[in-house]
Structure 1
Amino acid sequence: MLAANRSLRLAIYAILAAILYLPGLGRPALWEPDEGRYGEIAREMVISGDYVTPRDDFELYFEKPPLVYWAEAAAIQIFGVNEFAVRLPAALFSIGQVVVTAALAEAMLGAPAGLFAALVLALSPLFFGFARFATLDPALAFFLAAALGAFYAAARKDSFSRPSARRWLLISVAMLALGTLAKGPIALLLGGAIALAWMAIERRLRQVAQMPLVWCLVIYAALVVPWFVLAEARNPGFMHFFIVHEHLERYVASNEHGWGPWFFIPIVIGGTWPWIFFVPLGWSAMHADDGSPERARDPSGRRAAARFLAIWFVVIFVFFSIPRSKLGSYILPALAPLAIVAGYGLVRMSALDAVSRRRLLAAVAIANLAMAAVLCVFSQLVLAPINPELGVDGLLIGAVLAGGAIAMYSLGRAAPRVPYAIGAIALAMLAAVPLTARVREDASSISTYRKLARTVQPYLAGDCTLASYRHYVQSLPFYTHRRETRVEYWGELSEVSLPSPGRSSFLIGSDARLRQVWSSGACMILIVNDGDRKALADSLKPAPVVIGCEGKKLALYNGALAPPAGAADCLKSETKN
């Protein structure tokens, strides 16, 4: 039975989300490149004491604002330099978004809708995955959801001149300001566009004059401006790079992570599986006539709420679909409105007539069985050759989805047993979604280098140089606590300031210079892709010794210490590859 007290209900949702997201949070190694990059930036803030200028490998890094770095740095100071501390802010922001989404669903559609909206969001595969991944998007998604929820609370008062409405508006602006500090002015752009578009459709644009615009500007500026002013003062040219290059040029011209406009369609479907099938039911139920003629005129009614949620989703989906540069995490801010609509669809399941309910459940069951079959085939043909344990993981997830689908359909054919049917699919997702954490651990050799870092750590005594050849392993400085010299590679670290090779001791600009440094007698460990090892082995003198490997990378050493036990296996693995 639902708790009678709203605050208690929301607290329960927060506790359950924490139980879902926090256990084992620090077990997997940092994934390349994002987790290694953001963890290292936070670590360097802690050891340098400079919380104004973000640095990666002690080079200026102005791609993103600092709020998430600050949160990670605070966690590092409390819990130490480890994976749990780096991922904790993402988990906490995700827990917060579950609570905010539930609260907004309650305000729009009642307490049962809040419960199911929290369930849908918390157990959506994409949301769960990034709740346990150190990146900036969970923070943006949380602040945007909080801002839009506060705006909706203000808009329900009919007039923005009421004191309570004005307070909610100021809270909304504060959330947009924090979102700006989390990922840039995109928070203000998206939040403002959604609010204004909804007001235009509701024919309420004239009410903008009732808003405390001056106070909104003051609060936004007070939270956002100080860091930007300090960053520009300490790093002249920062504002031009941040606004023009990182936002405007990247949006219209960047081909990094290039995908077509269709990219987010499968991401949304797979990322909200299987709850996406209940969105049409929730949408139609929000527009159903319940005998209240005033509903269509009431801005706080279900139809107005439905339009608000639709605009929220569409604006974000379209905005991120336009540029070629796309990542799956970009769509996270659009999941909350889908969760609310799908949650209301689950609430209305019992009210469906028997034929419609069975058809819906049959469609969900068939889709889940098909997905289970695809996962089983994929796991054996693609994952198992990489790692047999990955093949087992895929089979387990497929089996859980299939079992949940069959149980849901069997239980849900009778109206009184619909809650049991929902419980069956929820339990299936509760089992399947955490299995993805196991998949991530079993796939660690694909894009993590904690093992390699631990292997080379004993060889980095004194002034021994840690270097990488034509790439930059983001997590190595985090794990080794040593700066990484880059050989013939700048990447994104060159975009703010490009020191010449002659002035930087952390850039080796040519193979000739590498051979000179390698043969100078100074200790060096060089991280290379296995495809480059043979050519380097032929050109470097003294001949490099392989001291470790992980995935496709090997550690070459020019010193006198003996390689660790098992290092010879790296060459055997290379031959197999």
Structure 2
Amino acid sequence: MSALSKATPQERRQFWLFLLIALVILGAGIGLRDPWPSDEPRFTLAAKQMVESGDWMFPHRGSELYADKPPMLMWAEAASFELVRWWRLAFMLPSLLAGLGTLLLVYDLGRRLWNRRTGLYAAGGLLLAFQFVYQSQRAQIDPLVVFFITAANWGLLRHLLAPPDSGARANWPLYWFGCFCAGLGVITKGVGFLALLMLIPYAWAAWRGWDGVARPGRGAWWRWLLGLAAVLAAIALWLLPMLLTAQARDGNPAYAAYVHDILFKQTAKRYANAWHHIHAWWYYLPILLFSWLPLSLLYPGCLPRWWQRLKARDARVLLPLGWVVLVLLFFSASPGKRDVYILPALPMLALACAPFVDELLPKRWLRVAGLVFIAVLGAAMLALGGYALLSHAPKVAQFAVDRDLADGGAALWWMCVVLGAVQLALVAVLRVRRAVWAVCGGMAALWLAWGCWAVPLLNPSSSSSALMAEVRGHLGPHDELGLVAWTEQNLLMLDRPATDFGFKVPWHIQFARAVQWQAQAPATRWLFVQQPAMGDCVDRAKAIYLGHANQRDWWMFRAEALVPGCLPSAKVDESPDDDPSADMQAGP
């Protein structure tokens, strides 16, 4: 790592302006919506139950333990709520801070490995990438795990790299810090250990005597092993208390099942023998090309320059780029694939591209490609909005009905028209000479329109807030509600106590338990049920149809609506976790 010169006033202004822009873009829409399926309500519900129950060690989904993910994000959301006392802000705050932190780490690596301008290019390229912003505006685990893996990479690269011919020694405290962050990534989503793959290209470069590799010195083997101790120490912060608490509750078999699920089924078994999201080995290639636009427009210019730097034995390029390749190979080897799995590789790819941006920006082909990208995006948005407004197509009308949009969704379609017009105007005004500003402005317009215009329109149906408000409207002050075949957003947005009969429990068993529960106080107990779970056991004329939300039809009824002696058969069952994407209602 080179010694940093003092920043000029212009460089300081550029940095703070970039940080402000990043805050506006990543924060667009915060406070304007509630958690949206499929994952957000699940994590926020678990965090809310932590706050209400005081049990922060074991996440719950209603009455059941939730063992699909470690509790790091749920802890972060619960802690955010304790700080701000408003769930609409608290559930998004961890993702916002993680996104900003990732940008700062990438900027710092770029300025230390090259210069401040390169640091801004690295962070700016990351902020432009579609998938990074989209995920940073979602309250899912991925932004947090990307932050911890990037922090681990930051510590490792600060330790492993040094200026050519400087004779600089390795920075062991930063190495241990990087390993500790990798451990935090493990207890966030299990894949934090991937940061340690950075040691493989480093070992190659050190063995081949590449430029820019720090020398650890003789007899350093025990220092390397302390890195493993740092990883294990971070994991132990959660693992040891969890195991000890579960052992203390060994009278309840649910805790033993929780330990087994989270340590084995959701890690090694999920990777080696995935049971959903099965895709071919080349699945990630379109993600690299399209989900990482417009950063991916740099690929044709970066590929030959990467090859030149690798032939020149430049470890500053080898380590981040080699690590990206290893991450892609790791996830491609598993049959189960999702686009977010490779998101942790994006910051290091942006860093590897950054040194060549100054040389590439004047190239006409790149500026034309950027203009074409924004023009195509703008034309698509304009065409979509115009078609929806003028065609009166049945699918457009059905979309508006499903999402409970007023006036056939006219406000949403006008947003598409305005956004497309803005993007096309940027292309027309800035043209090839200032194409980079057209790209930046076009992407900023997309995220601001989405967060500040579309999000408030889609929130009532996507979050089930409108559905559960109607449910509350039918309940008296002393009435109770039981949930059957429910989803996390139902309990989260109900905003009052309710009784559930399991979540993963088969629907016909839930229904049977609910009927018994309702019979104990038929005058004050209602059941809230997803339509398929009722079978033919409910007289629809005596029940209340609540409407269609989250691609499902919902009913509520008292005991008089039940068909005497009827219980649904097992044919009505549908496992809530068979398709984790079934709840997805929202996306740009």
Q: TM-score by structure 2 length?
A: 0.77
Inter-partner Cα distance in structure 2 for 1:111 and 1:334: 22
Name the SS of the counterpart of 1:326 in structure 2.
coil
Inter-partner Cα distance in structure 1 for 2:396 and 2:301: 36
Deviates more, 1:546-555 or 1:430-439: 546-555
- Conserved? CA contact 2:367–2:435, under 8 Å: no
Note closer, same or farther for the CA distance 1:41–1:81 as it changes in structure 2 (3 Å cut). farther
**Unpaired segments ≥5 residues, structure 1:** 298-302, 413-419, 495-500, 502-506, 561-577
- Write the letter of the residue equivalent to 2:326: V
- Structure 2 equivalent of residue 557 of structure 1: 557
Note closer, same or farther for the CA distance 1:411–1:510 as it changes in structure 2 (3 Å cut). closer
Name the SS of the counterpart of 2:104 in structure 1.
helix
Cα deviation, 1:518-551, whole Å, max 9, x if unaligned, reads: 4551534444445667845427xx9222456645
Note closer, same or farther for the CA distance 1:461–1:320 as it changes in structure 2 (3 Å cut). farther
2:334 matches 1:323: yes
- Structure 1 equivalent of residue 253 of structure 2: none
- Residue identity over aligned pairs, in percent, reads 21
Note closer, same or farther for the CA distance 1:6–1:196 as it changes in structure 2 (3 Å cut). farther
2:558 matches 1:544: no
- Write the letter of the residue equivalent to 1:544: A
- Conserved? CA contact 2:47–2:77, under 8 Å: yes
Quote the offset at 1:214 in angstroms: 4.0
Name the SS of the counterpart of 1:32 in structure 2.
coil
Note closer, same or farther for the CA distance 1:424–1:33 as it changes in structure 2 (3 Å cut). closer
Note closer, same or farther for the CA distance 1:466–1:257 as it changes in structure 2 (3 Å cut). farther
Note closer, same or farther for the CA distance 1:371–1:481 as it changes in structure 2 (3 Å cut). closer
- Structure 1 equivalent of residue 573 of structure 2: none
- Structure 1 equivalent of residue 106 of structure 2: 101
Quote the offset at 1:183 in angstroms: 1.5
Quote the offset at 1:86 in angstroms: 0.6
Count of residue correspondences: 518
Name the SS of the counterpart of 2:344 in structure 1.
helix
- Structure 2 equivalent of residue 255 of structure 1: 275
- Conserved? CA contact 1:280–1:345, under 8 Å: no
Quote the offset at 1:192 in angstroms: 1.4
Inter-partner Cα distance in structure 1 for 2:167 and 2:226: 13
> 246, 256, 270: which is aligned to 2:266?
246
2:359 matches 1:358: no
> 115, 123, 148: which is aligned to 2:153?
148
Cα deviation, 1:436-467, whole Å, max 9, x if unaligned, reads: 32344444466321122223235556664433
- Conserved? CA contact 1:143–1:179, under 8 Å: yes
Inter-partner Cα distance in structure 2 for 1:20 and 1:547: 36
- Structure 2 equivalent of residue 386 of structure 1: 399
Inter-partner Cα distance in structure 1 for 2:448 and 2:397: 19
Note closer, same or farther for the CA distance 1:305–1:474 as it changes in structure 2 (3 Å cut). same
Name the SS of the counterpart of 1:106 in structure 2.
helix
2:312 matches 1:296: yes
Deviates more, 1:216-225 or 1:105-114: 216-225
Q: TM-score by structure 1 length?
A: 0.79
- Structure 1 equivalent of residue 180 of structure 2: 174
- How is 1:424-573 mapped onto 2 (pairs within 5 angstroms)? 424-437=438-451, 438-444=453-459, 447-459=462-474, 464-470=479-485, 472-482=486-496, 485-486=499-500, 490-491=503-504, 509=509, 511-518=511-518, 521-529=522-530, 535=536, 537-538=538-539, 543-546=542-545, 550-551=549-550, 552-558=552-558
Name the SS of the counterpart of 2:321 in structure 1.
helix
Deviates more, 1:85-94 or 1:522-531: 522-531
Cα deviation, 1:184-206, whole Å, max 9, x if unaligned, reads: 2x211x11123323422552699
2:200 matches 1:187: no
Quote the offset at 1:30 in angstroms: 1.1
Inter-partner Cα distance in structure 2 for 1:167 and 1:308: 19
- Structure 2 equivalent of residue 271 of structure 1: 291
- How is 1:410-425 mapped onto 2 (pairs within 5 angstroms)? 410-412=431-433, 420-425=434-439
Inter-partner Cα distance in structure 2 for 1:63 and 1:469: 21
Inter-partner Cα distance in structure 1 for 2:27 and 2:460: 23
- Conserved? CA contact 1:93–1:138, under 8 Å: yes
CA-based RMSD:
3.6
- Conserved? CA contact 2:64–2:503, under 8 Å: no
- How is 1:210-229 mapped onto 2 (pairs within 5 angstroms)? 210=220, 212-229=223-240
Note closer, same or farther for the CA distance 1:60–1:543 as it changes in structure 2 (3 Å cut). same
Quote the offset at 1:100 in angstroms: 0.7
- Write the letter of the residue equivalent to 1:314: V
Cα deviation, 1:398-421, whole Å, max 9, x if unaligned, reads: 44444444455x342xxxxxxx43
Quote the offset at 1:37 in angstroms: 0.7
**Unpaired segments ≥5 residues, structure 2:** 1-6, 210-214, 248-255, 389-394, 401-408, 561-588
- Conserved? CA contact 1:55–1:61, under 8 Å: yes
- Write the letter of the residue equivalent to 1:244: F
Inter-partner Cα distance in structure 1 for 2:498 and 2:467: 14
- Conserved? CA contact 2:152–2:195, under 8 Å: yes
- Conserved? CA contact 1:29–1:83, under 8 Å: yes
Quote the offset at 1:101 in angstroms: 1.0
Note closer, same or farther for the CA distance 1:193–1:383 as it changes in structure 2 (3 Å cut). farther
Note closer, same or farther for the CA distance 1:11–1:514 as it changes in structure 2 (3 Å cut). same
Inter-partner Cα distance in structure 2 for 1:171 and 1:7: 27
